Amino acid sequence: MARPAADKPRLGLADIGALLAPTPGRTGAATRITVASVLTVLVTAIYGTPEAAISAYVVFFINRADRTTSIVMSVAAMVLVGLIIGLVTLLADFSVDDPLRRLAFMALLSVGLLFLTSASKLRPIGAIVAMIVGFGLDELGLVPSGELATRGLLYAWLMVAIPIGVNVGVNLVMGPAPRRLACDRLAHCLRMVAASLRQNDGDAATVAPLLRDGVQPVAMWLRLAKIEGISRTEDLAALQRAAGSTMAILIAADIAQRQPGAKLPATFAEPVAATLEQMAGMLDAGGYPVDITLALPAMDRLAAVQQAVAVELRDAIVGFADIDRQPAAEATREETPAKAEKAEKSGFLSADAFTNPEHVRYALKTTGAAMFCYVLYQQLNWPGIHTCFITCYLVSLSTAAETVEKLALRLAGCLIGAAIGTAALVYIVPHLDSVGGLLLLVFAGTWISAWVAQGSPRISYAGFQIAFAFYLCVIQGAGPGFDLTIARDRTIGIVIGNLAVYLVFTRIWPVSIAARIEGALENLVQQWRQLVGTADRDAQRQHAAAALALHGEITQDLILAAYEPASVGPAADWVETRRRHLAVLDAVGGPLFLLAERFPGDPEIDRRLQAVRTDTGADAPGGGAQHPQTRPQTSSRDALFALVDRHLAGPPQRDPPGAATGSPLHA
């Protein structure tokens, strides 16, 4: 089977086209960002505030899939920027008249804010705040009087306050409710499972891409819905149970597609698929299904693996959103004490904020690159390339792998955005005679950029850069601008800023992504061990969703590892070993989940997980496992363990034709 485009180390034109295809929610998200950006440009044109391009670009950073998160982030950013501007005002008296002192203050504040960006919950907007502080101090150095300095600080605050206020208004009107997003996501997953059960051998894969992030965001959306206070507590609890049931349905359907001999015959697949489609329709309507009945033929003629899949699908469907009903299979379990697993409450700062030197190094490297660019355009007396200073804050990343991989996206996005912007200046802007025409042009360019930015992480960064370069070229003031020199200089500044960040982050204290992969693999195994170590079905499904989401992150990090320079990154055999470990977990994850649901507390399940720990031998991930020769005569149990042992015995085998659903790295 073909590997999904998002999982390929190198992307071709066909892969990029696949990543640009429509996905659920993408159109709405791109439209909201576009409307907020266009309204921001309109407000800046009405009031004549400077740097309207930066104001429009801020919208990309403070917008999220749901209205609640977008509004909360916007309000928090407003308060934070107000505090920062107040701090800059206090420092202005000490720095305005002395360029060297002003540079020192800019650097110190930049380091402090970027440290918080790396080591706290300020991460989503910390770099923007640091950029605003530096920009504000720089602008203060250009004014000759206190009154103009005060006006400059006001403009710096308005540069962020305008897009924040507009974004709050747009999300109140157009932003989807968290509960609506949760229901839509669950409905989409059920429809994809129905399609996968009906598909013939060789049809396109439908389930595997949903395993890593299909259900994971639902829990967060339901928590946000609880904060909104619009939905009843009982409804949210039922939808939470539905999310866990959907996770079980996805895993069972994935096993039916991928494992040999597990595909259900049409006599079973058709009634299950029809029921799932009816359930999806109820979720689309804003409700959820209850009192579900599912009539299936007798299972005695099914193979043991097929029986396990059919029973899992039946139980998950019948008890889909019923928080009072105990599934039939769960009622027959041996009672085992469930582990009380409470997530530790995290504070504002990360646990390693003052022990991990990487936070300080990140702040120093980003500040160093930004200060170099600042001094460069000041000494060259070329203010048109001041975008190099801004770019350093917007594109700095934590690891060398991300820096190198994103460099191509940055430069490609910058050149595409600059080309679109320049073409618009030459062929479209001369025909515009009002701000209305400019807004239509901004709408078109923003929608294209937002569509790319709302896609896969493999291309989303390019969308941000397209928007950044396009805005800097086209938005030159309160009305249509025609100066190609501005577009040229700003594009040159973006390229200089990108190259400065690349050189600094790959030459000075380079951080390899290998440590993050190692820690994530350990966490992944721990998630699976917690899953098999609890008898609570809801907890098992939550651990499964978390493990599969983490699996997707590790998959992407292993792809990024190939981008690191040889002097920084891990060796090829190290990457290949981790790929094998991940592939083994991918192959055994589904059967182990069914075993944990059917036979909680079975010591043989944990014994299998011990065989794929990341500290086992590199050549044989399952080589250290000791499997007993005699087992209880439970056909489903024996069949599922046989599937697990088949993959632990050696390298993961290729899935039979028509059974695979995407990348062999999917769990």
Q: What is the mean pLDDT of the chain?
A: 81
In this structure, are 244 and 278 located in the same domain?
Answer: yes
In this structure, are 216 and 228 located in the same domain?
Answer: yes
Residue 596 has pLDDT above 50, yes or no: yes
* Relative orientation angle of helices 233-258 and 216-228, to the nearest 10 degrees: 170
Query: Which has the minimum average pLDDT: 120-134, 317-331, 374-388?
Result: 317-331
CA 4 to chain centre: 17
In this structure, are 186 and 320 located in the same domain?
Answer: yes
DSSP letter, residue 384: G
Q: Which of 290, 308, 329 is the last residue of a domain?
A: 329
Query: Which has the minimum average pLDDT: 67-71, 312-316, 640-644?
Result: 640-644
3-class secondary structure for 515-578? Answer: HHHHHHHHHHHHHHHHHHCCCCHHHHHHHHHHHHHHHHHHHHHHHHHCCCCCCCCCCHHHHHHH
Q: Which helix (H) or strand (E) holds 507?
A: helix 484-507
- pLDDT tens track for 597-647: 888 877 888 887 777 664 444 343 344 444 444 444 357 888 888 888 887
Q: What's the pLDDT band for 416 if we cut at 50, 70, 90?
A: very high
Sign (positive/negative) of CA torsion 298, 302, 305, 310? negative
Residue 464, domain member (yes or no): yes
Q: What's the pLDDT band for 420 if we cut at 50, 70, 90?
A: very high
Residue 4, domain member (yes or no): no
Q: What's the pLDDT band for 506 if we cut at 50, 70, 90?
A: confident
The phi, psi pair for 349, rounded to 5°, reads -90, 150
Q: What is the pLDDT of residue 448?
A: 94
Q: What is the pLDDT of residue 175?
A: 92
In this structure, are 186 and 150 located in the same domain?
Answer: no
Is pLDDT larger for residue 662 or for residue 26?
Answer: 26
Q: What's the pLDDT band for 145 if we cut at 50, 70, 90?
A: low
Q: Which of 459, 453, 454 has its CA nearest to residue 471?
A: 453
Name every residue whose Cβ is closer than 8 Å to that of residue 441 and which is 6 or more positions away in sequence: 424, 428, 429, 432, 474
Q: Which of 76, 258, 295, 279 has its CA nearest to residue 164?
A: 76
SS3 120: strand
Q: What is the pLDDT of residue 542?
A: 86
- pLDDT tens track for 349-399: 888 888 888 889 999 999 999 999 999 998 999 988 888 998 888 778 788
Q: Which of 514, 7, 450 has its CA nearest to residue 213?
A: 7
Name every residue whose Cβ is closer than 8 Å to that of residue 195 and which is 6 or more positions away in sequence: 206, 273
In this structure, are 103 and 218 located in the same domain?
Answer: no
Q: What is the pLDDT of residue 623?
A: 41
Q: What is the pLDDT of residue 620?
A: 39
Answer whether 178's CB lies under 8 Å from 225's CB: yes
Sign (positive/negative) of CA torsion 11, 15, 17, 23? negative
In this structure, are 186 and 220 located in the same domain?
Answer: yes
In this structure, are 46 and 142 located in the same domain?
Answer: yes
> CATH no. for residue 581?
1.20.120
Q: What is the pLDDT of residue 184?
A: 94
The phi, psi pair for 129, rounded to 5°, reads -65, -45
Q: Report the amino acid identity of residue 200.
A: N
Q: What is the pLDDT of residue 91?
A: 72
Q: What is the pLDDT of residue 495?
A: 87
Largest CA distance in the chain: 89
In this structure, are 364 and 324 located in the same domain?
Answer: no
Residue 520, domain member (yes or no): yes
Report the C-alpha gap between 585 and 579 in whole angstroms.
10
| Pair of tokens at residue 448 | 């294209």
Residue 662 has pLDDT above 60, yes or no: no
Report the C-alpha gap between 592 and 604 in whole angstroms.
10
Report the C-alpha gap between 621 and 508 in whole angstroms.
35
The phi, psi pair for 120, rounded to 5°, reads -150, -175
Domain of 296?
178-329
Residue 54 has pLDDT above 50, yes or no: yes
The whole-model pTM stands at 0.80
Query: Which has the minimum average pLDDT: 410-414, 541-545, 581-585, 663-667?
Result: 663-667
Name every residue whose Cβ is closer than 8 Å to that of residue 485 and which is 6 or more positions away in sequence: 384
- pLDDT tens track for 254-281: 998 888 788 899 999 999 999 999 999 9
Q: What's the pLDDT band for 24 if we cut at 50, 70, 90?
A: confident
Report the C-alpha gap between 123 and 393 in whole angstroms.
12
Is pLDDT larger for residue 657 or for residue 178?
Answer: 178
In this structure, are 503 and 545 located in the same domain?
Answer: no
Q: Which of 313, 329, 345 is the last residue of a domain?
A: 329
The rounded percent of the chain whose pLDDT value lies above 90 is 26
Report the C-alpha gap between 507 and 164 in whole angstroms.
36
Residue 656, domain member (yes or no): no
Report the C-alpha gap between 415 and 289 in whole angstroms.
50
Q: What is the dihedral of CA 402, 406, 408, 414, to 10 degrees?
A: -160
Residue 504 has pLDDT above 70, yes or no: yes
Q: Where does residue 318 rank: exposed (0-12), middle (13-18), buried (19+ CB within 10 A)?
A: middle
Q: What is the pLDDT of residue 157?
A: 84
Residue 202 has pLDDT above 60, yes or no: no
Q: Which of 129, 151, 152 has its CA nearest to residue 139?
A: 152
Name every residue whose Cβ is closer than 8 Å to that of residue 123 and which is 6 or more positions away in sequence: 117
CB atoms under 10 Å from CB of 18, counted, come to 16
Q: What is the pLDDT of residue 628?
A: 42
Q: Which of 521, 634, 541, 531 has its CA nearest to residue 584?
A: 521
Q: Where does residue 237 rank: exposed (0-12), middle (13-18), buried (19+ CB within 10 A)?
A: middle
Residue 492, domain member (yes or no): yes
Region of 614 on the Ramachandran plot (φ > 0 left; ψ -120 to 50 alpha; else beta) = alpha
For tokens 């507590």, name the residue.
Answer: 233
In this structure, are 455 and 561 located in the same domain?
Answer: no
The phi, psi pair for 598, rounded to 5°, reads -85, -35
Q: What's the pLDDT band for 250 if we cut at 50, 70, 90?
A: very high
The phi, psi pair for 331, rounded to 5°, reads -70, -25
Q: What is the pLDDT of residue 466?
A: 93
Which string of DSSP letters, residue by residue, matches 627-663?
A: --S---S-HHHHHHHHHHHHHHTSSPPPPPTTT--S-
Residue 350, domain member (yes or no): no
Residue 458, domain member (yes or no): yes
Answer whether 57's CB lies under 8 Å from 159's CB: no
In this structure, are 534 and 622 located in the same domain?
Answer: yes
Residue 189 has pLDDT above 90, yes or no: yes
| Pair of tokens at residue 436 | 């209305």
Structural domains counted in the chain: 3
- pLDDT tens track for 439-458: 999 999 999 999 999 988 77
Is pLDDT larger for residue 258 or for residue 470?
Answer: 470
Residue 667, domain member (yes or no): no
| Pair of tokens at residue 653 | 């085998």
In this structure, are 603 and 483 located in the same domain?
Answer: no
Q: Which of 467, 492, 507 is the last residue of a domain?
A: 507
